[in-house]
Amino acid sequence: MMLDIKSLDRKELEDWIQKKGFEPYRARQIWHWILKKTVASFDQMTDLPKSLRKIMNEEVDLSPLELVKLLESKEDETRKYLFRLRDGNFIESVLIPELEKGYFTICISSQAGCMMGCKFCFTARQGFKRNLKTSEIIDQVVQVKRSMSEPSKLRNIVFMGMGEPLLNYDNLIKAIRIFIDPYGMNFSHRRVTVSTCGLVPYIRRLGEEDVRVNLAVSLNAADDEKRSLLMPINRRYPLKELMAACKRFPLANGRRITFEYVLIDGINDSIEDAKRLVELIRGIRAKINLIPLNPSPGIEFSPPPWNKILAFQKVLIESNLTAIIRKSRGRDIMAACGQLSGRYGKDKAKIKEIG
């Protein structure tokens, strides 16, 4: 079996290198080539001994993902990457340009499909396939950086793609450690965000880790009846338990929990809903991302009219809350929030191979 090198942390790679008879520092060199220079071949690692490169060519798997389609939005230059996994499943990643700020954010997947069943989410309609390996999480960032003309401008990583990140907890944490390791990708922990639909025990566990990343919670309703309608997970972890976990979540100075609130016409967008939201998050250092629903095939809901969105936001702002209406990116290529699906995996005739 080939060594899955992108699933190894630095210590594990050093141990493997030593077993092969080479100095441990060679692991840092290899990481530099893979994670920072994003090379696609061991032969490009010119400062390594030829004997080590020969071993790696024979024994190491370098690219667990195959890029099969790349779409770019005509509206805002957002890019969506469709990757094929070795078992034939598909996942998607999104590169989001922050043009006014001069940098990029990558939205990555943690699972193939999703089992959480949120009623407004197209990904949920695809069902759950499996958790991603650490290497499959890492390789999304590696391959997207490789495709960029200025990879140094990739600043933020958000686990907001396909799947519920906290249900793939061990591989999630290992990937985060590789992302923030100075010898790895050297991302700031302040620029890594994990989004969850509200898995209370895992939120607590994440708060106990020595990696301090940002937490985003997909909320979408401020009372249990509506949230349970939209998000079945609320029946297991109702709002009282979720808010208690959020209040206990450790935050560094200047950090806040992000509550994501998808606005759905006639469901959760009334002035009364906004007032309940104000009361629900009282006492939590938070900001609210208001996200008008992004329409998707087979989703029965629709976004509210703009005047209702503004009225909802006004209630929050007048209550001294930070409430931002998040502009949807990449809707014309089904890359916006709630639209990812890896759906080409079910219709291979639609796949355009990239040569």
pTM: predicted TM-score of the whole model, two decimal places: 0.92
Residue type at 328?
A: S
Catalytic hit among 14, 92, 136, 260:
92
Strand partners, 60: 3
Whole-number average pLDDT of the chain:
91
Spell out the residues 6+ positions from residue 347 whose beta carbon is closer than 8 angstroms to its own: none
**Which pLDDT band holds residue 332 (cuts at 50, 70, 90)?**
low
pLDDT at 290 over 90: yes
pLDDT digits (tens, 9 = 90+) for 32-56: 999 999 999 999 999 999 999 999 9
Domain over 66-350 is classified CATH 3.20.20.70: yes
Mean pLDDT of 17-27: 96
Question: pLDDT exceeding 70 applies to what percent of the chain?
Answer: 92
Catalytic hit among 118, 121, 197, 337:
337
Residue type at 35?
A: L
- Residue 277 vs residues 124, 245, 263, 281: alpha-carbon distances, Å: 25, 17, 12, 6
To the query of whether residue 92 is one of the catalytic residues in this protein, the response is yes
Q: Are 224 and 238 spatial neighbours (Cβ–Cβ below 8 Å)?
A: yes
pLDDT at 340 over 80: no
Bridging pattern class, strands 103-107 and 90-98: antiparallel
pLDDT digits (tens, 9 = 90+) for 260-289: 999 999 999 999 999 999 999 999 999 999
Q: Which CATH architecture has domain 3-61?
A: Orthogonal Bundle (1.10)
pLDDT at 299 over 80: no
**Which pLDDT band holds residue 241 (cuts at 50, 70, 90)?**
very high
To the query of whether residue 241 is one of the catalytic residues in this protein, the response is no
pLDDT at 344 over 60: no
Q: Where in the chain is the domain with CATH 1.10.150.530?
A: 3-61
User: Taking the CA of residue 309 as centre, how many other CA atoms within 13 Å lie in the half-sphere pointing to its CB?
Assistant: 19
Q: Are 41 and 62 spatial neighbours (Cβ–Cβ below 8 Å)?
A: yes
